[in-house]
Chains A and B, each alone.
Chain A
Amino acid sequence: MSVLPGVVAINTFREAVRDRVLYNLIFFALMMIGAAILVGQISIGIERMVIVNLGLSAISAIGIIMAIFIGVGLVYKEMEKRTLYSLLSKPIRRWEFLVGKFGGLLLTLVVNTSLMTLGLGLALYCVGGKFERTDATILVAVYFILLELALVTALALFFSCFTSPMLSTLYTLGIYVAGVFAPGIQGVSQFTQNWALRAVTRFIYYLLPNFHDFGVIAAAAHGDRVPLALIWHNTLYAALYVALILLAASAVFSGRNLK
């Protein structure tokens, strides 16, 4: 198997670090410190829950913003700087370049998310003075956020293969929002009496990446268990969907005239 995607991925990660992308961690750290101090003063009995909700929501939101805004520029930036031309003149296939770019951003997001999770853990320890067994669900929630980020990154990369960063951002954000509201679309299909509308909404429901199912923040905050089957199925779902989007992206990018 070719090592070229790995090389591209490492370089993409290095570039992100050079671009001071990980500076967002300072913002996250300050927010968590502030929350840990304030939450004890303003919320009685739900300090832990507030910290978990706030921390996981911030991890998800910061990750999504990074995935979209960096993802849409991954290919475009290389073309604009004309570095892509010299890169593709070397024996690297276009799909390898794309997979490498995807892997690089995902690596950045994994490092970023891991550090934020560490910060969340520290804040939780400061508030509660100990870790509980149910806190393991927080790690599941973080894992689901990473799966979600992988999907968003793949989408952003796909759109960046054929349109401008501005439009790519809009499209990715649009699909993300629609995917979060997927149960609403399913609700319409279950409720309507109109068979055509039912068929269309059901088709859209299964076509859209379902981001709603990755949201277990509430379960983590309440210390509820997440079924193992769901972890396994969500992992498989994200992997299949990412493969599907990267395949489509490769098909589009391979036909793109770069002259």
Chain B
Amino acid sequence: MSRRSQNKSHTRAVWLALLAVPVLFVMCAALQVRIDAETRSMNQGNEELLLRSGRLLKNLSLGYEPLLADIYWTRVVQYYGTRARKPGATYESLWPLLDITTALDPKLMIAYRFGAVFLSERPPVGPGRADLAVDLVKRGIAENPDEWRLYQDLGFLYSIHLKDYQKASEAYLEGSKNPNAQVWMKVMAARVAETGNQLETSRLIWIAVYSSTKDDLIRRRATQHIHSLDAALGLKKLNESSEDYWRKFGRFPSSMQELRDAGLVGGALEDPEGYPYVMGPNGVPQLNPKSPIVLDPDQGPDKLR
């Protein structure tokens, strides 16, 4: 083939490739979208982990266990992040993933701290396994006895999720003995022991969780809980006003306006998300049905009276 015809053939091939390759890429991407939809339905509920033993993986990692731990931690965050608030989501692999991560790198504090929050969250935003979260944090304390923050996490789990205020107080107190611990750990130990079951105490604990991290995911979770507690506190106050109304007029108010007209409440009667509270049956105030706030089961309207 002559040089000239070869150049011509090359130019033709390059032009063809320049025109066809992007078109083919777009077609492949469009096809990929359809394949994703098909494989998603195939993989629903498939949460298998090939290796569940952290010790075995550690032996197989050939000295790269810290890197492997980082990869597994990334998987934990993705796993939890893609499921949280997805209706009907299950979290079967969350504990094995955290177990493997911390077995590979026992000093990976973030895995203990955030892992405990992920594990303890109630459905649908988590598996509601506070017991496993406690095991995880205790393992973290055994491996990292100088980390006072882990005692804070243990106290948080006992008080907020397991309602064991005695053990929560002990955890805060134990953590406060660390010379690096914040002063408020001692205050928290005393407060939880005295008034652990009060909404105000729970709110303080969540504020401590919020301010102890810069991670967006945890902060969002903490903010949701703080808003939920604020809403519960707001409803509690409104309920007290509703009972005052009953004592004054011999019946419960049928609307918020009646409470306002009676001079028993004032200001904006809204939840932290800006949705006005509504009056339910028998004068029990409730969250607006449009409000995105979800009250914990032990803070609902049925718990007001």
- State yes or no: do A and B come from one complex: yes
A interface residue numbers (CB < 8 A to B): 88-89, 93-95, 184, 186-188, 190-191, 193, 205-207, 210, 213, 218-219, 224, 226-227, 229-230, 233-234, 236-237, 240-241, 243-244, 247-248, 250-251, 254-255
| A244-B77 in contact (CB<8A) | no
B interface residue numbers (CB < 8 A to A): 1, 6, 9-10, 13-14, 16-18, 20-21, 24-25, 27-29, 31-32, 34-36, 38-39, 41-42, 46, 48, 75, 77-78, 81-82, 216
| B81-A191 in contact (CB<8A) | yes
| B216-A193 in contact (CB<8A) | yes
| A244-B28 in contact (CB<8A) | yes
In the complex, what's the smallest C-beta–C-beta distance from B29 to chain A, in angstroms? 4
| B82-A247 in contact (CB<8A) | no
In the complex, what's the smallest C-beta–C-beta distance from B5 to chain A, in angstroms? 10
| B78-A254 in contact (CB<8A) | no
B10 touches which of A88, A218, A240, A255 (Cβ 8 Å): A255
Q: Kindly list chain A residues whose C-beta atoms are within 8 Å of the C-beta of B17.
A: 247-248, 250-251
| A248-B9 in contact (CB<8A) | no
A251 touches which of B6, B16, B25, B36 (Cβ 8 Å): B16
Q: Kindly list chain B residues whose C-beta atoms are within 8 Å of the C-beta of A94.
A: 9, 13
A254-B14 in contact given A191-B77, A229-B38, A230-B39 (Cβ < 8 Å): yes
- Select from chain A the residue with minimum beta-carbon distance to B14: A251
In the complex, what's the smallest C-beta–C-beta distance from A186 to chain B, in angstroms? 8
Q: List 8 A-B pairs, minimum CB-CB distance, nearest first.
A: A251-B17, A244-B24, A206-B29, A254-B13, A254-B10, A187-B78, A255-B10, A191-B81
| A190-B32 in contact (CB<8A) | no
| B28-A206 in contact (CB<8A) | yes
| A241-B16 in contact (CB<8A) | no
Q: Kindly list chain B residues whose C-beta atoms are within 8 Å of the C-beta of A207.
A: 25
In the complex, what's the smallest C-beta–C-beta distance from A259 to chain B, in angstroms? 10
In the complex, what's the smallest C-beta–C-beta distance from A88 to chain B, in angstroms? 7
| A250-B31 in contact (CB<8A) | no
Q: How far is the CA of A226 from the CA of B42 in the complex (A)?
A: 8
| A237-B28 in contact (CB<8A) | yes
In the complex, what's the smallest C-beta–C-beta distance from B180 to chain A, in angstroms? 31
B14 touches which of A188, A230, A236, A255 (Cβ 8 Å): A255
Q: Kindly list chain B residues whose C-beta atoms are within 8 Å of the C-beta of A213.
A: 32, 35, 39
In the complex, what's the smallest C-beta–C-beta distance from A215 to chain B, in angstroms? 10
Q: List 24 A-B contacts (CB under 8 A).
A: A184-B75, A187-B82, A188-B78, A191-B81, A210-B35, A213-B39, A218-B46, A218-B48, A226-B42, A230-B35, A230-B38, A230-B39, A240-B31, A241-B24, A244-B21, A244-B25, A247-B20, A247-B21, A250-B16, A251-B13, A251-B18, A254-B6, A254-B10, A255-B13
Q: How far is the CA of A191 from the CA of B9 in the complex (A)?
A: 47
Q: Kindly list chain A residues whose C-beta atoms are within 8 Å of the C-beta of B28.
A: 206, 237, 240-241, 244
Q: How far is the CA of A119 from the CA of B75 in the complex (A)?
A: 37
Q: Kindly list chain B residues whose C-beta atoms are within 8 Å of the C-beta of A210.
A: 32, 35
- Select from chain B the residue with minimum beta-carbon distance to A233: B35
A191-B31 in contact given A243-B24, A247-B21, A254-B9 (Cβ < 8 Å): no
Q: Kindly list chain A residues whose C-beta atoms are within 8 Å of the C-beta of B75.
A: 184
Q: Kindly list chain B residues whose C-beta atoms are within 8 Å of the C-beta of A241.
A: 24, 28
Q: How far is the CA of A247 from the CA of B27 in the complex (A)?
A: 15
| A206-B9 in contact (CB<8A) | no
- Select from chain A the residue with minimum beta-carbon distance to B27: A240
| A233-B21 in contact (CB<8A) | no
| A237-B9 in contact (CB<8A) | no
| A247-B24 in contact (CB<8A) | yes
Q: How far is the CA of A229 from the CA of B42 in the complex (A)?
A: 12
Q: Kindly list chain A residues whose C-beta atoms are within 8 Å of the C-beta of B216.
A: 193
A240-B9 in contact given A187-B78, A248-B17 (Cβ < 8 Å): no
Not counting A191-B78, A237-B35, a sample of 8 additional A-B residue pairs whose C-beta atoms are within 8 angstroms of each other reads A206-B28, A213-B39, A226-B42, A233-B31, A243-B24, A244-B28, A250-B16, A254-B14
Q: How far is the CA of A233 from the CA of B28 in the complex (A)?
A: 10
Q: How far is the CA of A166 from the CA of B24 in the complex (A)?
A: 28
- Select from chain B the residue with minimum beta-carbon distance to A237: B31
| B78-A234 in contact (CB<8A) | no
Q: How far is the CA of A213 from the CA of B40 in the complex (A)?
A: 10
Q: Kindly list chain A residues whose C-beta atoms are within 8 Å of the C-beta of B42.
A: 219, 224, 226-227, 230
Q: How far is the CA of A193 from the CA of B220 in the complex (A)?
A: 12
In the complex, what's the smallest C-beta–C-beta distance from B4 to chain A, in angstroms? 14
| B21-A184 in contact (CB<8A) | no
Q: Kindly list chain B residues whose C-beta atoms are within 8 Å of the C-beta of A93.
A: 9
Q: Kindly list chain B residues whose C-beta atoms are within 8 Å of the C-beta of A88.
A: 1
Q: How far is the CA of A89 from the CA of B38 in the complex (A)?
A: 49
In the complex, what's the smallest C-beta–C-beta distance from A12 to chain B, in angstroms? 21
Q: How far is the CA of A233 from the CA of B29 in the complex (A)?
A: 12
Q: Kindly list chain A residues whose C-beta atoms are within 8 Å of the C-beta of B82.
A: 187, 190-191
Q: How far is the CA of A103 from the CA of B39 in the complex (A)?
A: 29
| B32-A237 in contact (CB<8A) | yes
